[in-house]
Chains A and B, each alone.
Chain A
């Protein structure tokens, strides 16, 4: 994927990392980020239930995944990650599905594959997605660290919060086009456009 991207002229190479990959600690002092493990085929109706769609993204976020895990919106903490089976985000074009996860502070969704439209929407609203073939090996409550730039996820603590002392499994992710990493670093497409139009206006 990288070679054709480089040819496209869309890219600017950068070395900034979305996530430092070290020193990521949970709010309770355990190492790494808590994994919320979800099954395959999580659709946009589960992420952003239609009955709440006419309200703001904040309201939608409070009902995110409630059909599957009723306590999710209450218990999730900023910096946590979702790890899911294949086809995460299939379904409708509603970007509130990704925005709800941003509102809840989800640092990344890690899955073997994503709905294509959800994939575009996620980066546009500032949600990092990591395509990781073996993501399903991770379990609920385990702790991970990731490095989006390098495309790696490492398990750092088990579900009881016990530090694996560097012996945790390491998973490779598909490399992301740099322009998408830049977009998510900027906080999404709107943030990028704001910066651009402000620059134009002040010139």
Chain B
């Protein structure tokens, strides 16, 4: 940590450094410094939260440092019917009442979507979440990262946490994505290139004109899958798009000015051309098994899944509907769609998207983590699934014999339509009225 002497120019800093400097009360920080930061927001869910936090807090007989800064989302076990899952949800509800928590979202959708949707995350904040995809909050220019339950306990009693200031990997995407190519494809291509721990727990910042052109939903996909890149945080510098999205979410009073990287900030820079990116697919076993959809065999699929925090936001549902409107999925395919949150489900309903998906044969599932977290009904033995989720580790979503391919909602929908893995550009025509094919 350094405080520049009067008259000395401040050293150039990345957005990650600025966010940590602010939260730690230092003028500036350098990569490698270890500092203690005050926490603006602590988010957790039924699986990572009360079921274990309650007992530990009771044992310590310690109060929560600031209940206003705590958000509980019940999204993991909420639709399971077994006794143990029901107990976990009951514990979460009882504890929320007992603690009189002011911010509880029970069965409203997946935490990474619900929390920003209710205006809890704003640019400049320093946040922790009890889930590996907590880095989704980086889409709003907040330093938000995942912690385990014990570390969350430390935050709940202290309101602070240590962090080692990361280096920044700048992922600069020039050009514009082609129609039918999405943030999910950008992420799969980067994870394929750098590997599951490619970011080595440093900060990733997504920038360039292709990133600026993305909707907030798409930026959330970038930040979200930073977990699969092995980053601590995945940041997008906030702009007017961020401001207007947050305005809708009820977060007003946004100051964008301080929250961008200096031009000569230290970091590693990688450049990509969005205009040449083709739809991507990750072969079973790891998101790092990514390649162009066009380069793989047209593998038959039995299940197509549009769900999870990564792949069932409004933009994802719209993409699937664009492919499927006016058609029916292949006779051998079950298409499951679990909108990421109730709000998105409502908008999709109003826009007629859900109806179009249902008419195409989709089964609409509850808005929760469900299949992706392995909590719903597992995938059948020896089945092949294509899913818009973030992970396809062996055994995560079902038995070891279940094969899971990862792709964008466009590719998932196109594959559901054809009954085999399909490049969505084969079935999409830019500009054509939906349902006219």
Contacts and interface: CB of A to CB of B under 8 A. Distances in A.
Interface of A: 1, 4-5, 7-8, 10, 41, 43, 45-46, 49-51, 53-55, 67, 86-87, 90-95, 98, 113, 115-117, 119-121, 124-125, 177, 179, 188-190, 193-194, 197, 201
B157 interface: yes
- Nearest 9 CB-CB pairings of A with B: A116-B201, A95-B148, A121-B148, A50-B374, A93-B132, A87-B197, A124-B150, A8-B34, A93-B146
Contacts of A8: 1, 33-36
A119 B151 CA distance: 12
A57 to B, nearest CB: 9
A124 B154 CA distance: 10
Interface string B196-239: 11001100000000000000000000000000001010000000
B148 A94 contact: yes
B59 interface: yes
Contacts of A119: 201
Contacts of B162: 10, 179
Contact of A43 (B34, B61, B393): B393
A87 B196 CA distance: 8
Contacts of B344: none
B164 to A, nearest CB: 8
A115 B201 contact: yes
Contact of A90 (B36, B60, B131, B197): B197
Interface string B47-60: 11000000010011
8 contacts: A41-B286, A51-B378, A53-B374, A93-B134, A93-B147, A117-B146, A117-B232, A121-B151
Interface stretch (B112-120, B272-280, B394-402, B415-423): B394-402
Interface string B4-38: 00000000000000000000000000101111100
B395 A50 contact: yes
Nearest to A97: B148
B contact face: mostly helix, strand, loop, or mixed: loop
Nearest to A66: B395
Contacts of A45: 393-396
A197 B59 CA distance: 10
A201 B130 CA distance: 28
Interface in B343-383: 373-375, 378
B134 A86 contact: no
Contact of A91 (B33, B132, B200, B374): B132
A41 B162 CA distance: 26
Contacts of A67: 394-395, 400
B243 interface: no
Contacts of A98: 148
A116 B395 CA distance: 22
Given A98-B148, A197-B157, 20 more contacts: A4-B34, A5-B34, A7-B33, A49-B395, A51-B395, A54-B85, A67-B394, A87-B197, A87-B230, A92-B132, A95-B150, A95-B151, A116-B200, A116-B230, A117-B148, A124-B148, A179-B162, A190-B56, A193-B153, A193-B154
Contacts of B34: 4-5, 8, 10, 177
A121 B130 CA distance: 11
Given A4-B33, A116-B230, A93 B131 contact: yes
